[in-house]
């Protein structure tokens, strides 16, 4: 990556007109083309020239204009990354991992947030494609028709992340949430629990949570077990909601012996409430969440969970974008591992 000629001294005068390559060219007595080469670190340039150019650029405080550069070269170092939310730690983590890989390749993520709203997703994508990014990473496989069409026509790598249960436009990196739900159900049944409740978010467009629940119920049904209760929430502090939902569901069905939460944060809230009630965990009552958040390490007991492979997803998605056309159509299904923690009996 080219060196950054940041200004260390104040330029002689505050020029009203923005600086251009020409200014650096004149100040250094080198042609614009060569200045451009130096600043991009491309092409063979003699060391002497290079230094004169860098000195002039630094001196003036010149910052190259990528808008012009992008137009001229039809190459842009931006990568669109579109996630449903930043409030759920899962996405900042995916983003952080993706950013590390992208930066290493000289690419710059541009983050868009949809709020789990397909219309906003469409708008956000449209706005980002207007910058002709070098790639698109976006969460989920469910998109509006127009969104899919834009992705298809974008002509750059598109990576749909988090989920693999569905049809991808181009590449996918994620886990099977249906399978994750099934796996958790099997473990719970194995451990002998039978009066099981599901506690989750009330978001029509959180397809991954829905799929986990579907997989979960399917396995229960196959074993002749029906969900004994369901509880949904929306908004507010997830930890507090976990607490409230748990209290509510236990008030309705005191005989429940297992609570499956759609994420670790509400699970943690539920766990704290249950411990406060003095419930015998995991014998009388088992609990499990989803995501494998770091947070779990600090709870009085480790909540059973399943790793959503967030960092790996971010990293692999970024790699696919970096690889360009070579990696088109990749499909990477990661395998979440059940971490039984201390809240499922007999599974230590």
Given candidates 13, 298, 326, 348, which one binds a copy of itself under the rule CB under 8 A? 298
Compute the distance between CA of residue 317 and CA of residue 77 in angstroms, rounded to an integer.
16
d(CA 180, CA 312): 16
Task: Figure out which of the listed residues 137, 164, 169, 238 binds a copy of itself, where binding follows CB under 8 A.
Answer: 238
Convert residues 11-50 into a mask of x (bound to DNA by CB under 7 A) and - (unbound): -------xxxxx-------xxxxx-xx-xx-xxxxx-xx-
The DSSP letter of residue 7 is -
Nearer to DNA, 18 or 236 (CB): 18
Gap between the Cα atoms of 242 and 239, Å rounded: 5
**Would you say 8 or 74 has its CB closer to DNA?**
74
Contacts of 67 (CB under 8 A, 6+ apart): none
At its nearest, how many Å lie between DNA and the CB of residue 111? 24
Name residue, tokens 């750059």: 156
Instruction: Assess 242 for contact with a copy of itself (CB under 8 A).
Output: yes
Q: Least CB distance from residue 75 to DNA, whole Å?
A: 6
Nearer to DNA, 105 or 299 (CB): 105
Pairing state of beta strands 171-175 and 331-333? parallel
Choose the stretch contacting a copy of itself; rule: CB under 8 A; options: 202-210, 265-273, 314-322, 337-345.
265-273
Q: Any contact of residue 155 with DNA (CB under 7 A)?
A: no
CB 229 to DNA: min, Å: 55
- The C-alpha atoms of residue 327 and residue 324 are separated, in whole angstroms, by 6
Task: Indicate whether 278 belongs to the interface with DNA (CB under 7 A).
Answer: no
Alpha carbons 190 and 183: distance in angstroms, whole number: 10
In the complex, least distance from residue 97 CB atom to a copy of itself, rounded to whole angstroms: 10
Two structure tokens written together for 118 = 């397909």
Does position 278 bind a copy of itself by CB under 8 A? no
Angle, vertex CA 308, rays to CA 159 and CA 299, nearest 5:
150
- Name which of 290, 276, 39 is nearest 183 in CA terms: 290
Asked if 68 is part of the footprint of DNA (rule: CB under 7 A), the reply reads: yes
Positions in the binding site for DNA (CB under 7 A): 18-22, 30-34, 36-37, 39-40, 42-46, 48-49, 64-65, 68-69, 71-75
């Amino acid at each position: 990556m080219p060196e950054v000629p940041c200004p260390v001294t104040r330029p002689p005068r505050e020029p009203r007109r923005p600086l251009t390559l020409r200014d650096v060219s004149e100040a250094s007595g080198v042609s614009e083309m060569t200045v451009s080469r130096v600043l991009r670190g491309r092409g063979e340039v003699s060391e002497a020239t290079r230094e004169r150019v860098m000195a002039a650029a630094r001196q003036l405080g010149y910052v190259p204009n990528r808008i012009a550069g992008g137009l001229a070269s039809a190459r842009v170092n931006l990568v669109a990354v579109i996630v449903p939310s930043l409030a759920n730690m899962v996405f900042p983590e995916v983003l952080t991992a993706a950013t590390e890989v992208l930066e290493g390749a000289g690419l710059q993520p541009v983050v868009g947030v949809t709020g789990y709203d397909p219309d906003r997703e469409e708008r956000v994508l449209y706005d980002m494609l207007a910058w002709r990014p070098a790639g698109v990473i976006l969460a989920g496989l469910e998109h509006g028709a127009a969104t899919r069409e834009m992705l298809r026509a974008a002509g750059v790598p598109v990576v749909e992340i988090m989920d693999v249960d569905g049809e991808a436009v181009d590449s996918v990196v994620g886990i099977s949430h249906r399978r994750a739900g099934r796996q958790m159900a099997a473990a719970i049944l194995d451990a002998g629990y039978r009066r099981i409740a599901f506690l989750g978010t009330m978001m029509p467009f959180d397809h991954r949570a829905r799929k986990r629940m579907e997989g979960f119920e399917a396995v229960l049904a196959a074993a002749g077990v029906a969900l004994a209760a369901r509880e949904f929430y929306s908004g507010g502090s997830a930890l507090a909601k976990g607490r409230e939902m748990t209290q509510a569901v236990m008030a309705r069905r005191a005989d429940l012996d297992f609570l499956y939460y759609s994420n670790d944060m509400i699970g943690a809230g539920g766990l704290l409430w249950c411990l406060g009630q003095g419930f015998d965990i995991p014998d009388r009552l088992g609990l499990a969440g989803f995501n494998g958040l770091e947070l779990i390490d600090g709870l009085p007991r480790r909540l059973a969970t399943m790793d959503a492979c967030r960092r790996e997803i971010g990293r692999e998605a970024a790699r696919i974008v970096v690889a360009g056309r070579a990696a088109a159509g990749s499909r990477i299904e990661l395998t979440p591992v059940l971490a039984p923690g201390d809240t499922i009996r007999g599974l230590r």
